[in-house]
Structure 1
Amino acid sequence: EPSRDITADIKTILTSLQQTSVAISDIKLCNKDILGRLTSMETHLTESDERLSAAEARIMMLTSTVADLRDKIDDQENRARRNIIRILGFPEGVEQEALPMLLKLPTGMDLSLERAHRSLAPRPGQRLRPFIIKLLRFPVKELLLRSARDLGTLEWEGHKILLFLDLSRALQNRRQQFLSVKRILRDKMIKYGLFYLATLWVTYKGTTSSFATAEEAEKFVKTL
C-alpha cells in the first residue's frame, strides 16, 4: 500500500540521515584530531626553528671566536719570528763569516746574533739546509734585508744566496696571493713593494696606494 511505502521510505531516509550524522561526527572528530596533530607539529617546528636559529647564531659566534684566536696566535707567532732571517744557498760552515762580506757591511759591525743554526733538514728539492739567524735587534735585521735588496743578486763562491723573512705558514699564504698582481706590475714597470705583514704598496704617476688584499690590488691594476 502507498502509505506503507511512504513510511518505509521515511524510515530509510531517517536511518540514512542518522548514519550520515554519525559519519559527520566521526569526520569532525577525525578533523579535530588532525588539527590537533597539525598544531602540535607547528609548535614543534617553531621550537625546532628557534633551536636551529640559536644553534646557527652560536656557530657563527664560535666561528668568529676561533678566527680571532687563530689571528692572535698567528700574530704572536710572527712577532716571535720578527728578528729571524732564513738564508738559502750558503755552503755548510761559512755562513757567519761570509754574511758581512756578502752584504758589504761595515768592517767589524756587530750583528748581535742571539743564535744561528741550520734547519734540521732541507726541504724537498733543496740541496743545502737553510741557515737561520735570530738577531737581538730589529734594526739590524732590517739593515741586512735592505742591503740584500739594494745589492740585487747575491752570490758566494758560485752559490746563489737568498734572504727571506721567517714567516708563519698562514702569513706566507697571504703574501703569496699577491704573486699574480706583482707579476703584472713588473711587466708594466710600475713600482711596488710588499710590506709586512701583507700589504702591497703601489706607486703610479706619483701617487702611492696600499692594498690589504690581492682582490683589491687586482681591481686597481685593471684600471691602469
Structure 2
Amino acid sequence: MDTAMSALTAETRSMRLEIAGFQSQISGLDHRVAAVESQVVLQTDRDQEILYLRSKLTDLEDRSRRNNVRFLGFPEGIEGTDILSYLRDTLPKLADITFDPPLEFQRAHRLGLKRQNGKDRPRPIIACFLWHGQVCQLLQLSRRQGPLRLGPLEIRLSADFSKETADIRRAFLSLRPRLRHLDVKSSSSQPGCG
C-alpha cells in the first residue's frame, strides 16, 4: 500500500509540475497575445492616420493646382519661343472675352516630353494663372460652349487636378450615363468656381 501511495503521490507531483508548466506557458501566451493586440490597435491607428494624411495631401495638391488650366489642341510649336505672350494674346480671341484685369500668368509650359513623330497628338499646354477668377471665367465658358475655336483649331480646356482626384472624377464620369437614365441630375464643376 505504501508503494502504491508513493507512486500516486509521485504521479500527483508530476502532474502538478506539468500543470504549473502549462500555466506559465499560457501566461506567456497571454502576454504575447496582449502585445500583438496592442500592436494591431496601433497599426489600425496608423492606417487611419495615413488615410487622413493622404486625404489632406490630395486636398493641398488640388488647392495648389486650382489656378492651373490645361489646354488641349494647340499644335506643337504654334506658341513660338514665348508661350506666355502667345497665351496672353490668343486666349481673349479664343474665348471672345475682354479680361479685366488683363491675363497674367505665373508660368506656362507643355506637358511631357517632346514627341519625335510629328503625327502624334500635340502635348497639352498647362498654364498657371495669377487670378483665380480668370480660371473660373475660362472654365465656365468652355463648359457652356464646349471646345473653343480659333480658326481651324478646336481647343479644349480642363482644370488641373491631382492624380487621386482625377481618378475619382474619371470613375464618376463612367456613372453619369446611368444617373441620366435614372433622371438624377449630376455635375462635377471646378471647386471654387460657383
- TM bucket (normalised to shorter chain) is 0.7 to 0.9
> Out of 17, 24, 38, which is 2:22 matched to?
38
Question: Distance in 1 between the 2:100 and 2:25 partners?
Answer: 84
Aligned-residue RMSD, C-alpha: 2.5
8 A contact 1:90–1:156 mirrored in 2: no
> Out of 8, 20, 23, which is 2:4 matched to?
20
Tell me if 1:54 matches 2:58.
no
Question: Distance in 2 between the 1:86 and 1:126 partners?
Answer: 18
TM-score by length of 2: 0.80
8 A contact 1:122–1:130 mirrored in 2: no
- Map 1:90-105 to 2 at 5 A: 90-92=74-76, 93-94=78-79, 96=87, 97-105=89-97
SS at match of 2:168: helix
Report the equivalent of 1:68: 52
Report the equivalent of 1:174: 168
Q: Which amino acid aligns with 1:114?
A: Q
Q: Identify if the C-alpha distance between structure 1 residues 36 and 192 changes in structure 2 by more than 3 Å, giving closer, same or farther.
A: same
Question: Distance in 1 between the 2:108 and 2:60 partners?
Answer: 21
Structure of greater relative contact order (alpha carbons < 8 Å, 6+ residues apart): 2
Question: Distance in 1 between the 2:183 and 2:103 partners?
Answer: 35
TM superposition outliers: structure 1 runs of 4+ over 6 Å: none
8 A contact 1:87–1:163 mirrored in 2: yes
Which residues of structure 2 form unaligned runs of 5+?
80-85
SS at match of 1:63: helix
> Out of 111, 116, 127, which is 1:119 matched to?
111
Q: Identify if the C-alpha distance between structure 1 residues 44 and 193 changes in structure 2 by more than 3 Å, giving closer, same or farther.
A: same
> Out of 84, 92, 103, which is 2:68 matched to?
84
Q: Structure 1 residue 153: deviation in Å?
A: 3.2
- Higher Rg of the two aligned structures: 1
Q: Of Structure 1 and Structure 2, which has the larger fraction of its residues in strand?
A: 1
SS at match of 1:185: helix
Which residues of structure 1 form unaligned runs of 5+?
1-16, 198-224
Question: Distance in 1 between the 2:10 and 2:153 partners?
Answer: 96
